[in-house]
Amino acid sequence: MTLDLALSVATSGLRLLDRQMARAADDIANAGTAGHTRKILEGNALTVAGNGQGVRANIVTRDVDLAVQAAQQRAGGDAAAAGLRVRLLGGIEAAHGSPEAGDSLGGLISDLQSSFIELREAPADPVRRSAVVTAAETVADRLNGVSDAIGAARQTAHDTLRAEVTALNTGLSEVARLNTEIKREIAAGRSTAALEDERDLVIGGIAQSIDLSVIRASSGEVTLVARGGMVLPLVQGSTPFSIADATVGAQAFHGTGGTLPGVMLNGRDVTRQLAGGRMGAAVELRDATLPRLQAELDLAASQLASRLDAQGLTLFTDTAGTVPDPTQPYAGSAMIGFAGTIRVNAAVVADPALLRDGTHTVVGSPTGPGDFTPNPAGGPSGFSTLLDRVLDFSFGAQQAEGVPQTGFATGGLGPDGTLTSPLSGLGTLAQYGAALVAEQTGLRAAASGAAERAGSLQQMLSERINERSGVDVDAEVAAMVQLQTAYGVNARVISTIQAMWDALFAAVR
């Protein structure tokens, strides 16, 4: 080997070592940077006709397990979706009160029944009449509060959907920009590792909005495909997804004839194609879960008002004085939103004696309650006919002897009539109220369990990614010490070659 060749080999080694130390220093400096992965810089030996010519540095690459990364992104989307459900359903659970404390709907209906029992013992007692009115107002207030909480959660779901659409557009535009830069760097023969880190971080954010798969091309580009096969447009600066603002009322729904706007992709409604992540959860909450909860609550309020009214006591109405008919289909009826407007009849509040005497005449029928005539003015102070009817039938499973109550609907629910309820086979108001509270508050517990599982999986996968691709500062420092030692050896080789050159030149002079 000539001195020139030896100097060239040693110099190429120094250049490689210099770049490797710079790479290690960069990894250490970015060890805490989100999305940063450990970089690999290796060299290849250069040979000509079997003779070593030095080393050449390869392009900096990443050591990333893409399968684990994809699973981690999906778990992140599941955790984000579950977190949204927990947040929105938690407010409804709080509004329901505590069954253990007896202040939830089932307990309050039982309290109202108990107040009627006490009034039955002394129908003329004004204090006991006032107690019934107070118990009725408490039930109405609870129904109003839960209805308000459901409405607020549904509005939040829509607003979340709008925010996620904005975030999705921003993320897709950023991925498009990074795709372009990565292609450019590959064409120029430069490393794209840092840009790939940045792009993966953006894709991880998008995966929290919507479940997706990443298809990687040999050119360096990626294509994002949502669950179900919808290709997400990647055009820098564009906003392909859109959704209009809206006030979400109890009667609003998305779909044919509805007033709720959908998520549009370049002018095409893709709302029902959205799955996973916060967007999928927001759509499901806004259009299915929360309208069902509202319908179940409206049924409870409507049956409460109707069963009392059927016996001759209009105790509950809406603000217009209407008592809904629970025998009608829910969609398009006065039952929609009734839980939010139910109140104690103003006439009963003004004259609690109506609780004993009755508010109206009932004409009996073979398929409904029997005849009832209110206690006339100046009638018996111990009149108990109405109170017996209320206790025997309004709070019971029959409208009259041998005539079952109209059941609580389980199908045709929601403002568009497409939803179903799991609450079936329940006959009395107290039973339905208790089951409703248990079912609706149980949704939050289920969401919390799902959030915990998704979070644990995400954490486990993140740890696996860190083990494979994360920066181990101690290991990098140890590697730098080795690189410095190798650098010193190469430097001594160059010094030796320089000394040999000097000796040669001296001999020639």
- Indicate whether 56 and 73 sit together in one domain: no
Tokens 């110099």 belong to residue: 11
Indicate whether 186 and 44 sit together in one domain. Answer: no
CA distance 48 to 102: 89
| Rg of the chain on CA atoms, in Å | 37
Strand pairing of 61-62 and 51-57?
Answer: unpaired
Pairwise CA distance, residues 195 & 193, whole Å:
5
For the residues 82-109, what does the mean pLDDT come to? 93
Quick one: which of 8, 20, 54 has its CA closest to 481?
20
Number of Cβ within a 10 Å radius of residue 43: 17
pLDDT on residue 467: 77
Position 193 pLDDT exceeds 90: no
CA distance 487 to 495: 12
Whether residue 488 has pLDDT greater than 70: no
Is the same domain home to 128 and 257?
A: yes
- Asked whether residue 392 falls in the same domain as residue 479, the answer is no
Q: Are residues 162 and 29 in the same domain?
A: no
Question: Of how many residues is the chain composed?
Answer: 509
List the structure tokens of 206: 């998008």
In a domain, 93, yes or no: yes
Asked if 130 and 108 sit in the same domain, the reply is: yes
What is residue 3's predicted lDDT score, i.e. its pLDDT?
54
CA 444 to CA 30: how far, in whole Å?
39
3-state secondary structure (DSSP) of residue 224: strand
Angle between helices 126-187 and 277-284 (to 10 degrees): 150
pLDDT value at 418 more than 70? yes
Q: In this structure, is the dihedral angle defined by the CA atoms of residues 417, 254, 289 and 227, taken in order, positive or negative?
A: positive
Q: How much is the pLDDT for 102?
A: 86
Neighbours of 59 (CB within 10 A): 14
131 domain-assigned: yes
Q: Is residue 366 part of a domain?
A: yes
- On whether both 390 and 496 belong to a single domain, the answer is no
In a domain, 462, yes or no: no
Give the long-range contacts of residues 345-351, CB within 8 A, separation 24 or more: 345/314, 345/315, 345/316, 345/317, 345/321, 347/314, 348/133, 348/136, 348/313, 348/314, 348/315, 349/133
Residues 6+ apart with CB under 8 A from 330: 295, 298, 299, 336, 409, 412, 413, 414, 417
Contact call for residues 368 and 400 (beta carbons, < 8 A): yes
Side chain identity, residue 115: S
**Which pLDDT score, from 0 to 100, does residue 293 have?**
97
Q: What is 379-391 written as a DSSP string?
A: --TT--HHHHHII
Task: Please write down the long-range contacts of 401-406, taking CB distance under 8 Å and 24 or more positions apart.
Answer: 403/366, 403/367, 403/368, 403/369, 405/303, 405/307, 406/303, 406/306, 406/326, 406/327
Q: Which of 31-40, 223-232, 377-386 has the lowest mean pLDDT?
A: 31-40
Query: Looking at the structure, do residues 371 and 495 belong to the same domain, yes or no?
Result: no
Residue, of 310 and 55, whose pLDDT is higher: 310
What's the rounded mean pLDDT across residues 134-162?
A: 97
Give the per-residue pLDDT at 265. Answer: 95
In the numeric block, which tokens belong to residue 156? 């939040």
Regarding predicted confidence, which is higher, 489 or 167?
167
Distances (CA, A) of 240 to 9, 207, 224, 243: 55, 17, 14, 10
Residues 120 and 57 in one domain: no
Residue 367 within any structural domain of the chain: yes
Other Cβ atoms closer than 10 A to 373: 14
pLDDT score at 207? 95
CA 51 → CA 3, 45, 238, 309, distances in Å? Answer: 14, 10, 55, 103
Please tell me the distance from the alpha carbon of residue 405 to that of residue 397, in angstroms, as a whole number.
Answer: 6
Mean pLDDT value of segment 435-452? 94
Q: Using alpha carbons only, what angle is made at residue 336 by residues 330 and 337, rounded to the nearest 5 degrees?
A: 155
| pLDDT number for residue 248 | 96
pLDDT above 90 (res 65): no
Looking at the predicted structure, is the pLDDT value of residue 49 above 80? no
Distance CA 503, CA 509 (A): 10
Q: What are the pLDDT digits (tens) for 446-484? A: 999 999 999 999 889 888 877 776 555 556 666 665 656
pLDDT the model gives residue 313:
98
Q: Which band of pLDDT confidence, cut at 50, 70 and 90, is reported for residue 149?
A: very high
Residue of 372, 371, 360, 373 whose CA lies nearest to 323 = 360
Distance CA 495, CA 6 (A): 11
List the structure tokens of 348: 């009963």
Q: Does residue 243 sit within a domain? A: yes
Say whether both 408 and 483 belong to one domain. Answer: no
Mean pLDDT of the chain: 88
Select from 263, 164, 176, 179 the least CA-distant residue to 210: 164
In this prediction, residue 367 carries a pLDDT of: 92
Per-residue model confidence as pLDDT tens digits over 252-302? 999 999 999 999 999 999 999 999 999 999 999 999 999 999 999 999 999
Q: Which helix (H) or strand (E) holds 265?
A: strand 264-265
Same domain, 358 and 491: no
Report the percentage of the chain scoring pLDDT > 90: 70
Judged against a pLDDT cut of 60, whether residue 114 lies above it is answered with yes
Which strand (E) or helix (H) includes residue 51? strand 51-57
Q: Is residue 28 part of a domain?
A: yes
Asked whether residue 319 falls in the same domain as residue 413, the answer is yes
Q: Residue 200, CB half-sphere, CA atoms under 13 Å: how many?
A: 25
Q: Which residues, other chains included, contact 254 with Cβ-Cβ below 8 Å and sequence gap of 6+?
A: 260, 261, 262, 271, 286, 287
> Helical H runs in 188-246?
193-209
* Residue span of the structural domain in which 495 resides: 3-61+473-508
Total domain count, the chain: 2
Strand, helix or coil for residue 441:
helix
Across 100-104, 180-184, 240-244, 296-300, least confident range: 100-104
Write the CB contacts of 259 (distance below 8 Å, at least 6 apart in sequence).
246, 252, 253
Question: Does the residue 80 lie in any domain?
Answer: yes
Which residues have C-beta within 8 Å of that of residue 6, sequence separation ≥ 6? 493, 497
